[in-house]
Each structure stands twice: as structure tokens, then as C-alpha cells.
Amino acid sequence: MSERILVLGAGGFIGRHLVRRLASMGQDVLAVSRRAWPDIPASVEMRLAEPRSPLDFAPLLNGVGTVFHLASSSTPGSTAGHPLDELEANLRPTLALLESLQERPLISLVYVSSAGTLYQPAPDTPSREDSPLLPRSYHGAGKAAAEAFIHAWASQYDGRTTILRPSNVYGPGQLEKGSFGIVPTALGKLRRGEELTVWGDGNIVRDFLYVDDFVALCERVLVTPKARGSRIVNVACGKGTRINDLFGVMELVTGRPLLRRYVAGRGVDAPRADIDPSLARQLFDWTARVDLEQGLQETWRWLNRQTP
């Protein structure tokens, strides 16, 4: 493809993997991030920026054919009690991007939303793209609002957009920070022999998706012709795992016991997140290929190559 690809949030965990994959395909990539990161492919143009207004986005969109919007700086836990944080950190920049895209209807937008934070859980019924939404966190509510604005932009300005709703993405390169990501947090505790605080009884269910599988779907989206309008696609492994069972696989992979302390659950955490990825298979001939044990093995190997 001759047109440039703009990756917003390129310095994040998924963004770094996506940029490397696009560069390996020979794509012309402009990577925008708040901070620099090591091992940027030589062919990639890196721009340190935090665009927040239509005027900020306008020069970044010159010559661009597709925008991957992965920029996000919140989690369900970090936004608890702080709805304005979600507005300022994520919604405002997204709306500014849409306003700038109004003058550029031929640019395709791929927006990375969320599956686990949006759906209303239903017993024994995996969530499909048309399942009811009931965000439990301000982070999830922000994702739902962003999706609604993107639909409105596409309807009014003949936009072309694909909204991806991934489940819990994990893998090498995911840093342990705050409460972001149970996989890096638990593996970090295992590596240091520390105790992990577990919210609830460990029986909540999540769908864990290896990062290479998610990036493979992004590649399929990029090369597939896009019709006018918007479409939503779940991206998940399609198999729910209880958190306690996740810990069991981690202990098997590492050969170490995970010390844990269970505390009262949080209201922002949905009890289940079973996700149906069949539409991704139908539209893009895509299926997650890396199972949980293999993905955790690769993540553990990467972690142990890092300086403590």
C-alpha cells in the first residue's frame, strides 16, 4: 500500500507491536507517541506529540490512508471516581481527531475500543457485537461514548471505520505498572516472590488474547477493502478463563507458587467477560492461534530477559 499509515499511541504495548508488524510489511508508518521507546524500526518516522485539537491532528494526517487509533491513558481502576479524567485523557483527543477527519473522508479509521469493559454479562452467552452494552467503569463508558461519536462521524461524513473490541491483550513487552493488566502484574510478583493482591475471590472470567494474534487481525483489517460507514468487530480468543485458573497456568509455566491475598471485589470489575469472535472469523478469516499456556511461556521468557 502506497499511502502512509498513522499510528496514534504507538509507544504503548500494543502500538509498539503493531508498528513493528507494519514496518516488516514495508508500510510507510508515522508513529505518534507521548514518549520515545527503544528499538523503533529504522523505516518508521517517529513523532513525539500528544495531539489534543483538530489543528494538532491536521499536519499528521497529510498523505495518510489509514489511522490506527490506539492512544489511551486510563483503565477501569484508574478512572474510578474520576469521570473527568476519562473526558480529558481519551474522549477529548478522539473528538478532535474526528473533527479533523471531517475534511478528509477518504482516510480510514481503525479505533481500538474494548470488549471486557462494555458488555452486559449474560450467563452462558458469549457477548456478540450486537449484545447489550452496560459499562461498569468510567473507562468503559468513555469507550462506548467514543464509539458513538465515531458512528456519528462516519454517518455524516461518509467515513470508513472499523471499531475493534479486543479482550484482555497480553504478551511480551507489556510493562507492569499500577493496576494495568493482571498478566504482567502477576508474573512480576512471581518473578520477585512477592504477594499478589486479588480483587474478589478469583472466580471472575476473562478472555485472554495474545498480542501477536491481535496484531494479525489489525493487518487483516488494513488490507481488506473498507465500505463507507462503521462496523464493530470483537477480537478475542473465544475462551473464558477464571482468574484462579490463570494463576494455575502461570504456576505451571514458571514452576513457582504465586502468593496471593484475596480482598473484597471492586464495583468496576464485571463478573464475566465471555467474548464471541465469530464475526472476525467471518469478515477477515481470522482466528486466535496462540493458546494461554504458550502465550504465558513467551511472556515469561521475555520478562526474564529484562533487568530486574
Q: Could you read off the pLDDT of 253-267 as tens digits, one per residue?
A: 999 999 999 998 877
**Mean pLDDT lowest among 93-97, 105-109, 263-267, 292-296:** 263-267
Chain mean pLDDT for the chain: 91
Residue 142 — very low, low, confident or very high, per pLDDT cuts 50/70/90?
very high
Q: H or E stretch including 241?
A: strand 240-242
Q: Which residue has the cell 486466535?
A: 288
Tell me the pTM.
Answer: 0.94
Residues 4-172+208-238+272-288, CATH architecture: 3-Layer(aba) Sandwich (3.40)
Percent share of the chain, pLDDT over 70? 95
22 phi and psi angles, rounded to 5 deg: -60, -40
Residue 39 DSSP class = -
Q: Which residue has the cell 460507514?
A: 229
Are 19 and 31 in contact, with CB atoms under 8 Å apart?
A: yes
Residue 94 — very low, low, confident or very high, per pLDDT cuts 50/70/90?
very high
Q: What is the pLDDT of residue 2?
A: 60
The residues spanned by each domain of the chain are: 4-172+208-238+272-288
Query: How confident is the model over 223-228, as a mean pLDDT?
Result: 89
SS3 45: strand
Is the pLDDT at 79 greater than 70, yes or no? no
User: Which pairing describes strands 160-166 and 168-170: parallel, antiparallel, or unpaired?
Assistant: unpaired
Is the pLDDT at 152 greater than 80, yes or no? yes
